[in-house]
Amino acid sequence: MTMVMRGLLLDGLGALELQLDDHQIDRLLEFLALLQRWNRVYNLTAVREPRQMLTHHLLDSLAAVPPLRRYLVEQGGACARLLDVGSGGGLPGVVFAVCQPGLEIVCVDAVAKKAAFVQQAAASLQLRNLRGMHARVQELQGPFDVVSSRAFASLADFTAWSRHLLAPGGVWLAMKGKPPDDEMAALPAGVAVFHVEPLRVPQLDAERCIVWMRPA
């Protein structure tokens, strides 16, 4: 099964034109195995079948890495800190930490067992740039250059709860399914959407996008 999963992951990376080294690929597969083990006891995700976990979680999160990399390059590498809000089983935060070792990443979740899982993943995968925190996002202190979320809350709530955490010039990166027109229309005047970026997730027939936002 391990070789099958590795082959599927490599196919997905090829489709995304995402360059990772062997060490990073090994870590992603280790993360998937860890997620499966913990999920049996702690119910971190409703998706339980290994291949589905690969597509619905791993490849889904990896699809956001090329846009994140492009943004970081545009900033001249100045971005140093990313906060992943409502990270759950570390998605996409752990995946970002594997793919972007130069980025300091904090995954926050209000559920203690989910934050503990991210801490365990950081230790098991030896990701020094990753930290899991058990807290409500409203209680945290920043600043962060990028604040991300994946199917966490409405755009209005996500930005309202985390606005105090954005560094000057910082942005929000919200992973969504199809473009959330109603949510974007409900944003306050102080939040501007500057790009809605379609994502194509390999091996998954579903609409995905990133809504990029910044304070207006």
The SS3 of residue 182 is helix
Instruction: Supply the pLDDT for residue 140.
Output: 96
User: How far is 210 from 198, CA to CA, in rounded Å?
Assistant: 6
Confidence of residue 26 (pLDDT cuts 50, 70, 90): very high
Sign, CA torsion 143/149/155/157: negative
Residue 8 and residue 54 in contact, taking contact as beta carbons nearer than 8 Å? yes
| 131 has pLDDT over 80 | yes
| 186 has pLDDT over 70 | yes
> CA nearest 87: which of 121, 40, 55, 48?
121
Residue 149 and residue 161 in contact, taking contact as beta carbons nearer than 8 Å? no
Q: What is the pTM of this model?
A: 0.96
Question: Residue 109 phi/psi, 5° resolution?
Answer: -150, 145
CB-based contacts of 41: which residues, under 8 Å, 6+ apart?
Answer: none
Instruction: Supply the pLDDT for residue 164.
Output: 98
Write the CATH number of the domain with boundaries 60-215: 3.40.50.150
User: How far is 190 from 172, CA to CA, in rounded Å?
Assistant: 13
| 83 has pLDDT over 60 | yes
Question: Which residues lie across from 104 on neighbouring strands?
Answer: 81
Instruction: Supply the pLDDT for residue 213.
Output: 98
Confidence of residue 52 (pLDDT cuts 50, 70, 90): confident
Average pLDDT over residues 92-106: 97
Residue 92 preceded by cis peptide, ω within 30: yes
Question: Which residues lie across from 81 on neighbouring strands?
Answer: 104
Instruction: Supply the pLDDT for residue 151.
Output: 84
> CA nearest 60: which of 23, 43, 35?
35
| 46 has pLDDT over 70 | no
Instruction: Supply the pLDDT for residue 51.
Output: 85
Which two tokens mark 87? Answer: 């990270």
Long-range contacts of 161-168 (CB under 8 A, 24+ apart): 161/85, 161/137, 162/83, 162/85, 162/137, 163/190, 163/191, 163/215, 165/83, 165/137, 165/140, 165/141, 166/142, 166/215, 167/81, 167/142, 167/143, 168/143
* Residue whose pair of structure tokens reads 């030896």 in the numeric block: 126
Confidence of residue 2 (pLDDT cuts 50, 70, 90): confident
Q: Give the start-to-end residue ranges of the domains of the chain.
A: 60-215
| 41 has pLDDT over 90 | no
